[in-house]
Structure formats: C-alpha cells, structure tokens
Amino acid sequence: MDLGYLPVRLSTLKPSIQLGFNLYLQLPHKTIKYIASVDDIEIIQIENLKLKKVRKLFIDDTEENKYQEYIDRCLNTTMSDDSLSTDKKAEVVVGASEASAERIMTDPHSQKSYDSAQNTAGQLINVLSQNDEILKGIFDHKLDEESDNQEARMHKHAVNVSSLCISFGEFLKLPKETIEQLGVAGLFHDVAFGQLEQNVKDLFFKPIESTSSEELIAYKEHPKLGGEILQDKEFASKEVINFILTHEERQGGNGFPNKISKLDLAQEALALSCFYDQQVTCFNLDRKEVLKELAISQLGNFELTTINKFKEFIIKVGLKS
C-alpha cells in the first residue's frame, strides 16, 4: 500500500451516511479514489465489494479524525435505529472495535493507536450502557471462516475483554475513570502478541497446563513486554500500564509475571474477563462449561465473592450459553 494511506475495514462502513473523507480502493498497481468525501457508500457497493472479497478500503492518513467522526455518527445512528436487530447493531460495534484492536496490535507504540483505544473504549462504554443485549451480541458475533486466523482471534479477544470488563466494572459499580481505564487496558492487554515469534504466538491458543516448561517461561513474559511497550510513553496512563502488567496475576501469588499476592477489585475484574474470554475465543471452549468450571479451576486465584459476582453478571447478561 502507498505511504500516506490508512486501511479501514469494510465492516465499519454504513450506507446512507455521508463519509466526510475520500475513500480509496487499492488495485494491483495503483490506488484510485472510489468514493468522494461528499458522498456516502451505497449498500450495493458494499455487497459488490464483499462478493469480490474486498475487506479493506483506504483513507488519506490526514483524514483519520474525519473517519473517527464518521464512526461516531454510524454508531449513534445504529444505536438509535429501533428497526435494527441487536445482531445488526453488534455487527457495527464489532467492526469499529476490531479495526481499532487491529491497529493497536499492528502499531502499538504510536499515540494514534493509543488514542484509537481511548476512543473505542469510550464508544463501547456508550453503546453498552444503552443496550444490555449488545454485550451478548458482541460475543455471539462470529469470525468469517476465510478470515479466521490467530490475528483475527486476538483482535476479537481484545474487543471481547474490553467490552466484558467495562460491563462487569459497571456491574461492580467501579468508578467511571477506572472503567474507562479498564476499557483501554482490555484492548491493549495482549498487545505483546504482535511482537512475538510465531512459536510463542501459538501459546496464546494452548492451555497453560499443556505447555512445556520452556514454553511457559516464554509465554509468561507477555504481560511485561506489553507494559514495556507503553511505559516510556507520556500519553499512556500509568493505571492502564498497571492493568496490562497484572492481567495474568492471581491472588496469593499464583499468577505472573511478578507473582503479586493481592489484587484489587478492578485488577480482578480485568483478569477474570481475560481468563473467561481466552477460554471461549482462543481455546474454543463452550461458554456454559467455562462458567461451570470457573469456581472450581479458579478458586484461590480470585476472591470467592468476585467469582460469584462474575458468575451472577454472566448469567444476567446472557453469556452463560
């Protein structure tokens, strides 16, 4: 792709809403303007692109803020449209959020990626507070078979965790600022994945108990590596970095990388959300079975009261099956 252009997912584009930025199509040897900023993309254009297996279009990188404003308009329009099903609403939310997760994984060091995470967390907080069914719609949204790979699963995992810990944080009545930080940390928690060799990436899809001692040592480095990506960045919140560093920690020093012995409630909320969705999204386990085993496999790793509240929350929002 030519320098100066940024990819945008087709799934983030909604018909009948003026773009406000030029949209480009990449051909084998050149990039052409596909839709002008004063126009909108039509449903027939979206369908034709899907038929041709086009998943991404491009914008001029100087128009990124206009694209973000467009996403906000799409989300607001979608959420206020009573004729749309929860699945359709969730599809728009997922498209915008996974695009942000992909950007974070691809370019984790930049302020633009961090700003994107903050925008996405804010959008998730907004839409999840408007509709209790959206969280289930996000989890129920399936990856296309042709695009189901490790990277896509990690993008989905990031969005699921961010959404889950935002909603669970609200259920626990955590402070608003903490919930915002959890939303960003959920998107960033496994950011080290994109920087690792393939043999280590494979471990994110392999239960810890089935790893060798050498593999376990390599896997246990990822929270530290993720924290290091942001630790020298003035734009990054210290609280978000701390959440990244502690998302694999457990009560009593049973986690990693630092074997801290005590987690606060917000740290538990993120760690539980990460654990639950890794089982579901990365290991392909049944949600009902994960919930059933939670109090058994994680007893001692989290406070029993937090586990019980998490189970109560999962049942309330319909993620038990």
CB 137 within 8 A of CB 90: yes
Residues 6+ apart with CB under 8 A from 291: 276, 311, 314, 315, 319, 320
Structure tokens at 1: 């792709």
CB 1 within 8 A of CB 31: yes
* Ordered domains of the chain (ranges, CATH): 1-64 (no CATH), 84-316 (1.10.3210.10)
- Band of pLDDT at residue 129, cut at 50, 70 and 90: very high
- Band of pLDDT at residue 144, cut at 50, 70 and 90: confident
SS3 letters across the chain:
CCCCEEEEEHHHCCCCCCCCCCEEEECCCCEEEEECCCCCCCHHHHHHHHHCCCCEEEEEHHHHHHHHHHHHHHHHHHHCCCCCCHHHHHHHHHHHHHHHHHHHHHCCCCHHHHHHHHHHHHHHHHHHHHCCCHHHHHHHCCCCHHHCCHHHHHHHHHHHHHHHHHHHHHHCCCCHHHHHHHHHHHHHCCHHHHHCCHHHHHHHHCCHHHCCHHHHHHHCCHHHHHHHHHHCCCCCCHHHHHHHHHCCCCHHHCCCCCCCCCCCHHHHHHHHHHHHHHHHHHCCCCHHHHHHHHHHHCECCECHHHHHHHHHHHHHCCCCC
Identify the weakest region by mean pLDDT among 164-168, 186-190, 296-300: 296-300
pLDDT at 191 over 70: yes
- Please give the Cα distance from 125 to 214 (Å, whole number): 39
Q: What is the pLDDT of residues 19-72, one digit of tens each?
A: 999 999 988 888 899 999 999 999 999 999 999 989 899 999 899 899 999 999
Closest residue by Cα to residue 280 from 161, 168, 183: 161
Q: What's the pLDDT score for residue 3? A: 58
Q: Is the pTM of this model over 0.85?
A: yes
Q: What is the pLDDT of residues 293-313, one digit of tens each?
A: 888 889 999 999 999 999 999
Closest residue by Cα to residue 283 from 203, 189, 193: 203
Residues 118-139 have a mean pLDDT of 93
Q: What's the pLDDT score for residue 295? A: 83
The alpha-carbon radius of gyration of the chain (Å, integer) is 20
Q: What's the pLDDT score for residue 143? A: 85
Residues 277-301 have a mean pLDDT of 93
Alpha-carbon 191 to chain mean position: 10
pLDDT at 225 over 90: yes
Q: What's the pLDDT score for residue 309? A: 97
- Band of pLDDT at residue 1, cut at 50, 70 and 90: very low
CB 2 within 8 A of CB 31: yes
Distances (CA, A) of 22 to 34, 37, 57, 60: 8, 4, 10, 7
Q: What is the pLDDT of residues 236-253, one digit of tens each?
A: 999 999 999 999 999 999
Residues 155-172 have a mean pLDDT of 98
Residues 84-91 have a mean pLDDT of 89
pLDDT at 90 over 70: yes
